[in-house]
A and B are shown apart, each in its own frame.
Chain A
Amino acid sequence: MQTFGYGRAANVHQALAEGMAADTAFLAGGTELLNWLRLGITAPARVIDISRLKELEGIERLPNGGLRIGALMRLSDVAQNADVARGYLVLAQAILKSASAQLRNLATIGGNPLQKTRCAYFRAADVLPCNKRQPGSGCTALHGLNDRHAIFGWSEGCVATQPSDPAVALSALDAVYVTEHRDGGRRIEAEDLHRLPGKTPHLETTLREGELIVGIEIPEAAPHSAYLKIRERESYEYATVSAAVALDLEGDRIARARIALGSVAARPWRLREAERALAGAAVHDSTVIREALAVSFAEARALTHNAYKIPLAKAAAARAIRLAAEARP
Chain B
Amino acid sequence: MSIGEPVPRLDGPIKVTGAAPYTADLRLPGMLHGVLVTATIPAGKAIAIARNEALAEPGVVHVLTHADMPRPKTAVAGPPFSTSALPLQDDEIRHEGQPIAVVLAETLEAAEAAARKVHVRYAPAPATTPAPAVWSALEGVAAAPRNTGYFFLEPDFAKGDADRNLARASRRVEAVYSQPSRHHNPMEPSAVLAQWDGDMLTVHDSTQHVFGVRQGLAAFFGLPLDSVRVISQHTGGAFGAKGLIYPHETLAAVAAKMLGRPVRIVLSRADMYAVLGYQARIVQKLGLGADDAGVLSAVTHDVVNLTSITDDFIEAATEASKSLYATPSLRLSQRAERANVAMPTAMRAPGEGPGLWALESAMDELAAELGVDPLDLRLANYAETDPATGAPWSSKKLREAYEEGARLFGWRERARTPKREGDWIIAHGMASCLMGTFRFPSNARVRLLRDGGAVVETGTQDIGTGTLTIFPQIAAGVLGLPPDRIELRMGDTRLPEAGPTYGSSSTMGVGAAVLAAAEDVRGRLARLANLPPQEAQIADGCISLAGAAGGIPIERLMDEAGESEIVGAGVFDPSQDASYAKRTFGAVFVEIAVDPELGLLRLRRAVGSYSAGRIVNPRTARAQLLGGIVWGWGMAAMEQSAFEPTLGRFLSKNLAGVAIPVNADIPSDITIHFVDEVDEKAGPIGGKGIGELGATGVAAAVANAVFQATGKRIRDLPLTPEKLIS
Enumerate chain A interface residues (CB-CB to B < 8 A). Answer: 1-3, 38, 40, 118, 120-121, 123-126, 128, 140, 143-145, 147, 228, 230, 232-238, 240, 308-309, 311-312, 315-316, 318-319
Contact = CB atoms under 8 A, between A and B. Distances in A.
Given A123-B657, A124-B651, 13 more contacts: A38-B112, A40-B116, A128-B647, A144-B651, A232-B718, A233-B637, A233-B662, A235-B663, A308-B722, A311-B725, A312-B599, A312-B721, A319-B598
Given A145-B651, A312-B725, A235 B270 contact: no
B222 to A, nearest CB: 35
Contacts of B652: 120, 123
B373 interface: no
A120 B721 contact: no
A232 B659 contact: yes
B602 interface: yes
Interface string B633-653: 000011000101011000111
Given A125-B268, A144-B646, A233-B665, A3 B113 contact: yes
A121 B646 CA distance: 12
Interface string B654-669: 1011010111110000
A316 B598 contact: yes
- Complex A-B, nearest 3 residue pairs according to Cβ-Cβ distance, in ascending order: A234-B664, A308-B722, A235-B664
A124 to B, nearest CB: 7
B139 interface: no
A230 B656 contact: no
Contacts of A228: 598
B116 A2 contact: yes
A1 B109 contact: yes
23 contacts: A2-B116, A3-B113, A118-B656, A124-B651, A125-B268, A125-B653, A126-B38, A126-B40, A128-B647, A140-B647, A230-B599, A232-B638, A232-B718, A232-B721, A234-B662, A234-B665, A238-B656, A308-B599, A311-B725, A312-B721, A312-B725, A316-B598, A319-B598
B189 to A, nearest CB: 14
Interface residues of B, number: 37
A140 B661 CA distance: 29
Contact of B720 (A140, A145, A232, A319): A232
Given A1-B113, A40-B116, A145-B651, A319 B423 contact: yes
Question: What is the interface of chain A mostly: helix, strand, loop, or mixed?
Answer: loop
Contacts of A120: 642, 651-652, 657
Nearest to B720: A232
Contacts of B637: 232-233
B223 interface: no
A37 B602 CA distance: 36
Contacts of B662: 233-237
Contacts of A316: 598
Contacts of B423: 319
A144 B652 CA distance: 13
Contacts of A140: 644, 646-647
Contacts of B268: 125
Nearest to A143: B646
A107 B653 CA distance: 23
Given A233-B662, A234-B665, A235-B662, A118 B112 contact: no
Contact of A233 (B112, B116, B642, B664): B664
Residue of B602, B642, B718, B721 with most partner-chain A CB within 10 A: B721
A165 to B, nearest CB: 14
Residue of B637, B664, B720, B722 with most partner-chain A CB within 10 A: B722
